[in-house]
Structure 1
Amino acid sequence: MREGEMGKIVAAALVSHVPPLALPTNLRISPDGEDTDLVEGFERIRMRLDEVKPDVFVIVDSHWFTTSEHVVAGAARHHGILTAEELPHLINGVAYDYPGAAELGAACARAGARRGNFHSIGNRPQIVNVTDEHLPHHYSTINVVAHLRRDDEKVLTVSVCQTAKPQNFMEFGATIREAIDQVDCRVAILGSGAMSHRFHSFDEIVSPISLSYQAQGISSTDAYEYDMRVLELWKDGRHADVLERYHDYMRFFPEAWFGHYLIMLGALGGADFKGAGRPMSRYENHVGTGNIHVWFDVAGVQ
């Protein structure tokens, strides 16, 4: 670290990673003749990133489930070929190769130790830095990297622990923030995942309404209306109110227990964060789930 330098969060966004984002335009067109707006939404986000010039992306990956600890992928390089186990006929043979944020990954583990993030037996860490280059990456990271990353920007992917509760996600985010404070870096933190996340049933999931990007394809009217409520709260920077409604919102299965949002929020200051959320794409259906890109104002975070 250069003398006097410390890390800074310069950008934050919740972003969608739906499978069509891995496809060429002609294969993305829905049965009603539309392309997803999420691609152009990434371009809008990229324009904002160009203004603040991050050198590290921290991507909270709502498909990367861990069980007994939070994990950060702190290898110096990430490379491989992705065939998605969820949809191998759509996403297969996708090569990826980009630099990792090794220094920040190591700092996350150190910050976890400083904050006392240990399990009760054996002093086992709750926050683990894994540097194995062969750790697989999911399309929920790869799609975001493919559409947003430029030049020499490094990537630190972090997991969503499936046994964690909201306070655990928030603490993990706060730990990431403490690590950022210790490393000379400019961070864009991106929560990669959906809002409401209930799929249509097997017999309906490949149907015109399910494959339409229009909002009427969302799994239920109630799920759509709750997503709209959360978006309005974000618009006004009312993150504390979103937290208060968390257990009610869980009726509509926000993706990965909304861990991608909660970890990001923890890094931004938790319930005290009041950054307004501005949509960077239209709100869209994908096989019943609610998807959108939202950019959050981080002015004053550091």
Structure 2
Amino acid sequence: MGELVLAAKCTHVPTMLMSEKPGPIEGTRQHAIEGHYEIARRAKALGVDTVVILDTHWLVNAGYHVNSSPRFKGLFTSKEFPQFIQNLAYDYDGNPALGDLIAEKAQAKDVFTLSHQLKSLELEYGTLVPMLFMSREHKMKVVSVAAWCSVHSFDASRRLGEAIREAIEASDSKVLLIASGSLSHRIWPN
């Protein structure tokens, strides 16, 4: 039986990447980076093998979608902020069984949810930024869930959450659940 062993809300602000490079904001996001390291250390200590990330930058127009690919490998440039995130290499294993189970459990609750295993379906930066930092402390499989709430009702989101819990418990995975949000949607012009 699987288990949800840890949950966190974390930032995915692109300036975390810029904070690691020489320049005017070098070091300014170190506290956020350290927070991601700490989440990963706790996950490792608890035996987590998979992280499910609710990604607010995976924009969808209908239903919920789960990126359940067995492997995610590529080079990412943000379409929203190419000046901030460009040529970000990533390589993570996925957990297709858990992703498929999330969609199955959600559909049983009348929440339109599709699981996808498509090589061409890339991860978005709401998943990639947390994974970049957390993977430095602990290697985990990843399942990404589209969580752009402007098209989702609160009730459907609640039922999706129930489905995620039920899917985890029906799996053989120990899971970290991340709500990946920017924590502030003030976007500065620079």
Equivalent residue of 1:89, what SS? coil
SS at match of 2:114: strand
- Aligned CA RMSD, in angstroms, stands at 1.9
Segments of 4+ moved more than 6 angstroms: none
Question: Aligned pair count?
Answer: 187
> SS of the residue aligned with 1:79?
strand
TM-score between both structures, scaled by the size of structure 1: 0.58
1:113 aligned to which of 107, 128, 145: 107
Corresponding residue for 2:61? 67
Structure 1 residue 28: Cα displacement:
6.3
Return the alpha-carbon distance in structure 1 between the equivalents of residues 122 and 167 of structure 2: 24
Alpha-carbon distance between aligned partners in 1 of 2:38 and 2:24, rounded to the nearest angstrom: 20
Give the counterpart letter for 2:121 in structure 1: L
Q: Once the 2 structures are TM-superposed, how far is the Cα of residue 34 of structure 1 from its aligned partner?
A: 5.4
Give 3-state SS (helix, strand or coil) of 2:12's partner: coil
Higher helix share: 1
Equivalent residue for 1:131? Answer: 117
Q: 1:1-302 counterparts in 2 under 5 A?
A: 6-23=1-18, 25-27=20-22, 29-30=24-25, 35-36=28-29, 37-117=31-111, 126-149=112-135, 152-161=139-148, 162-200=150-188, 205-206=189-190
2:168 aligned partner, one-letter code: I
Q: Is the 8 A contact 1:56 1:187 kept in 2?
A: yes
- The separation in 1 between residues aligned to 2:9 and 2:100, in whole angstroms, is 24
In 2: Cα distance, 1:27 partner to 1:143 partner = 19
Larger Rg: 1
* Secondary structure, counterpart of 2:58 in structure 1: strand
Deviation at 1:39, TM superposition (A): 1.3
Q: Partners in 2 of 1:34 and 1:151 — Cα distance? A: 22
CA distance in 2, matches of 1:9, 1:181: 7
Q: Which residue of 2 aligns with 1:282?
A: none
Tell whether the 8 Å contact from 2:73 to 2:90 is kept in structure 1 after alignment. yes
Q: Is the 8 A contact 2:20 2:27 kept in 1?
A: no
Q: Distance in 2 between matches of 1:76 and 1:68?
A: 24
Following the alignment from structure 1 to structure 2, what is the Cα–Cα distance between the partners of residues 26 and 109? 39
Structure 2 contact 51–142 (Cα < 8 Å) conserved:
yes
CA contact (8 A) 1:28 1:35 kept: no
SS of the residue corresponding to residue 25 of structure 1 reads coil
Post-superposition Cα deviations, 1:156-202, rounded to whole Å, max 9, x if no partner, equal 000024311222211111111111111100000000113342335xx
SS for the counterpart of 2:185 is coil
Partner of 1:3: none
